[in-house]
């Protein structure tokens, strides 16, 4: 039995057993799901319910599918085989068996499984697609999938096995296995068979009817779900990047002149303007800045002076990705699509992951740059030739203590790993299914590596913030009120470095602090709005 998620599942089980406060149910209609709702359902387990209107559409679509089958029409995926077998007509008595075989034969993914939050996001997006009423699924099947999500039956979905061809065929087949009482799932913190998880949740496995297997495993929901979760975290990392940069700039006695609105009005990229505004607000009323106001420093190194331009370009790329994802999660991406009002069943290519692959690769490149420039600011603070009077490596006893010398190596390692991961997957293609699927997107690979890039960026920004706080302490003059509050928050888990100590707990504590969201809450409590 798969154990990849056992530690995570067990850690969540205690929380799941605690008394929960009632949460407002999110209505699912197939058309209006937001990225933020996806995250809430994935991470906070907010319950969902299908609207009456969408149920009516699903029912109407299914009635048309039954009509098509009854009159003996030859339709791909209903009365034919799949992929290269689309020319093989399947007798009516085998149409249900065809769908079960589809799920079983296509569940071929390998490797570690997706986290519970990622799995819940995938399940939700599949529900939302089916709720549009163009997939031909039965109401009872869709409702069972909704109840699996609400009751916490989480299929084990391995991460590797999709090329983004007919969407995410293989991982979505793993999603469908527990629905039919097969495969493996996590329930209440335990890994078990899909059949046992359904039984313990009080759910009956579904016996698939014609078209339903294809309705469940054809689409882009794996890459889209990962894209949504990573995009939202990337947006938060943009704020963290401005915050850690502001702390570094003040610690280095940098000048905020480069952030003047007049400069940015002449190059009005939205992200650049927002980042510059954040830096101005974070550095406002800094006694440290006032102490060297007339020092003669007219401009800083690029990693300080060009922060709005670099961070802003990332922000604008994220805006593009947000637009793509917002459209994608409310789109019908399976095949064939059913149009009961027009009495048509049309084979198309909405499952192709190219729009997502391009967006997610762009997102990985863009977010990686936040770490790249942050590591250069770290170098500025640690290098005695650059740090404007601070001790080498911010060690209290340079030579006896190494200070943050090797912590920078960790940041450099993460940045270098991101350079490899940022190589776009979407420029690759390998034909599959006897050349029927002769151009594929590799969007799932884009999504998987993006997850690691985001994690690495968080690590680098945490390191920069930790080092900047040490540098501020060594200046002996207060920074801005908001940066002082952030430093005080960090000091609750990462004390000032007075002499060398084991470093990795401090690094991990700083990373956990950023992941918790507490820093942004502290900034908001200080009355500073970050764009």
Are 78 and 137 spatial neighbours (Cβ–Cβ below 8 Å)? no
Cα gap 343→339, rounded to integer Å: 6
What pairing do the DSSP bridges indicate for beta strands 110-113 and 158-160?
antiparallel
**Inter-CA distances, 409 with 354, 415, 453, Å:** 36, 10, 17
β-pair partners for 184? 193
Assigned token pair, 72: 């003996």
Only one residue has tokens 């697609």, namely 129
Cα gap 219→13, rounded to integer Å: 31
Are 175 and 153 spatial neighbours (Cβ–Cβ below 8 Å)? no
What pairing do the DSSP bridges indicate for beta strands 337-339 and 344-346?
antiparallel
- As a three-state string, the secondary structure of 397-432 is CECCECCCHHHHHHHHHHHHHHHHHCCCCCCCCCCE
Going by C-beta distance under 8 Å and a sequence separation of 6 or more, which residues neighbour residue 168?
Answer: 162, 217, 219, 220, 221, 222, 223, 353, 444
**Inter-CA distances, 243 with 236, 280, 383, 496, 522, Å:** 11, 11, 21, 19, 12
Q: Which helix (H) or strand (E) holds 147?
A: helix 139-151
Q: Is 76 an annotated catalytic residue?
A: yes
Question: Beta-carbon neighbour count of residue 51 at 10 Å?
Answer: 15
Cα gap 467→5, rounded to integer Å: 33
Question: Beta-carbon neighbour count of residue 172 at 10 Å?
Answer: 28
- Exactly one of 76, 114, 240, 302 is catalytic; which is it? 76
Cα gap 36→38, rounded to integer Å: 5
**Inter-CA distances, 157 with 82, 211, 472, Å:** 22, 22, 46
Going by C-beta distance under 8 Å and a sequence separation of 6 or more, which residues neighbour residue 167?
Answer: 217, 218, 219, 220, 221, 222, 333, 334, 351, 352, 353
β-pair partners for 339? 344
3-state DSSP assignment of residue 350: coil
β-pair partners for 155? 185
End-to-end CA distance of the chain: 46
Q: Which residues are catalytic?
A: 76
């Amino acid at each position: 039995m798969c154990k990849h998620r056992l530690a995570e599942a067990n850690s969540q089980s205690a929380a799941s057993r605690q008394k929960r406060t009632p949460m407002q149910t999110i209505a699912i209609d197939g058309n209006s799901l937001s990225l933020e709702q996806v995250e809430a359902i994935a991470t906070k387990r907010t319950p969902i319910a299908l609207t009456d209107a969408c149920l009516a559409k699903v029912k109407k679509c299914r009635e048309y599918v039954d009509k098509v089958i009854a009159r003996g029409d030859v339709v791909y995926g209903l009365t034919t085989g799949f992929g290269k077998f689309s020319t093989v007509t399947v007798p009516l008595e085998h149409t249900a068996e065809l769908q079960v075989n589809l799920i079983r034969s296509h569940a071929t993914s390998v490797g570690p499984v997706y986290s519970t939050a990622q799995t819940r996001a995938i399940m939700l997006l599949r529900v939302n697609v089916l709720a549009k009423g163009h997939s031909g699924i039965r109401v009872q099947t869709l409702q069972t999938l909704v109840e699996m999500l609400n009751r916490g039956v989480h299929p084990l979905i391995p991460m590797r096995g999709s090329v983004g061809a007919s969407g995410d065929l293989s991982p979505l087949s793993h999603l469908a296995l527990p629905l039919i009482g097969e495969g493996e799932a996590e329930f209440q913190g335990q890994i078990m068979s899909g059949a046992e998880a359904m039984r313990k949740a009080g759910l009956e496995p579904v016996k698939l009817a014609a078209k339903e297997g294809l309705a469940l495993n054809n689409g882009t929901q794996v890459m889209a779900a990962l894209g949504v979760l990573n995009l939202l975290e990337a947006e938060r990392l943009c704020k963290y990047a401005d915050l850690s940069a502001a702390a570094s700039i003040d610690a280095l006695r940098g000048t905020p002149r480069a952030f003047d609105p007049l400069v940015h009005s002449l190059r009005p990229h939205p992200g650049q303007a927002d980042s510059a505004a954040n830096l101005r607000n974070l550095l406002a009323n800094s006694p440290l800045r006032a102490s060297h106001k007339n020092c003669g420093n007219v401009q800083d190194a690029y990693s300080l002076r060009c922060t709005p331009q670099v961070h802003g370009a990332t922000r604008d790329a994220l805006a593009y990705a947000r637009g793509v994802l917002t459209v994608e999660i409310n789109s019908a991406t399976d095949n064939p699509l059913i149009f009961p009002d027009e009495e048509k069943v049309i084979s198309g290519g909405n499952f192709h992951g190219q729009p997502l692959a391009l967006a997610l690769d762009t997102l990985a490149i863009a977010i990686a740059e936040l770490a790249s420039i942050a590591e250069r600011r770290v170098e500025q603070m640690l290098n005695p030739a650059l740090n404007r009077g601070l001790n080498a490596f911010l060690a209290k006893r340079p030579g006896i203590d190494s200070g943050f010398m090797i912590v920078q190596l960790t940041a450099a390692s993460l940045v270098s790993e991101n350079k490899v991961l940022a190589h776009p997957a979407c420029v690759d293609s390998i034909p599959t299914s006897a050349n029927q699927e002769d151009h594929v997107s590799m969007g799932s690979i884009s999504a998987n590596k993006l997850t690691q890039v985001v994690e690495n960026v968080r690590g680098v920004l945490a390191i920069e913030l930790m080092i900047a706080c040490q540098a501020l302490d060594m200046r002996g003059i207060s920074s801005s009120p908001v940066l002082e509050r952030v430093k005080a928050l960090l000091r609750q888990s990462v004390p000032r470095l007075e002499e060398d100590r084991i470093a990795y707990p401090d690094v991990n504590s700083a990373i956990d602090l950023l992941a918790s969201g507490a820093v942004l809450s502290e900034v908001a409590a200080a009355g500073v709005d970050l764009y």
